[in-house]
Structure 1
């Protein structure tokens, strides 16, 4: 596993588990009628088990902090009091980003309804995790699709997709364990 720091979109330690999600390089899917090439972003999710999961997640977080400090230094910003102001300003700016994310969820054309055909008693074949710190909308994200499972066979679900509702029941703000119970039904 070798991912550039900028491709990592989610890190969490859950007990002895470390969950890391990263963007893969985009692959060309196809061309539309006007000849424009569409690229479909792909995500990969790694789940590691270690008694040191919390420390590993902290180390990755520190790597982000070091990279940010190096970026600021490279751009001529060295005053530490200014860095604190920048961090606060970054928090304020992130509120605008969150607004964009909420707008994305409010537009019907950016959402899709997926029906996964499966036999009674057959497992859906997905692993879900919490949407993470960077998400304005607290819900769950698909972390893995089992090969040849109903979810994989339907061809409409991808790792990294956020699940807003299942069978008309909203998952927004629910604990992960409750969401997992709805997935099992």
Structure 2
């Protein structure tokens, strides 16, 4: 019976000293600045891309996950006039085309176009790179900057956290040592 208790105690000790892994969800903000501002004339397209791997070296399409993402695009129209534009995001071509005839208000105040990545999220997850194309349907305007914001789960940044069983076993050991010293 004594041998059985020792075997059970040894098994409990060997199974109790594992570690749980707490994954880190990393908020990422990746700016793209068209410096100087890029003029987009009627019929022209301006292409640029965001690369998550430039700021998250541990990003891997096979093990990382992007939970959500959106893009803020800023446009101005210092020359006045009527402008219409279309924005294509990713290879799946998530396209945004506002209604109306004057999509960019006249003046130097930037107009914000916020795009929640739905269809294009798969393209961003595939390799961490997202292509964006801004096209002028009519009129001319300026692209000033864009910001990609994303919630990224990168498993390589895991922190080991002691499991409750190993902490309980350590506590019992300390309690046993204290009882033995008193006895």
Give the number of the structure whose residues are more often strand, by fraction: 2
In the superposition, the TM-score normalised over structure 2's length comes to: 0.25
In the superposition, the TM-score normalised over structure 1's length comes to: 0.25
Bigger Rg over Cα: 2
| Larger relative contact order (Cα-Cα within 8 Å, sequence gap ≥ 6) | 2
Give the number of the structure whose residues are more often helix, by fraction: 1
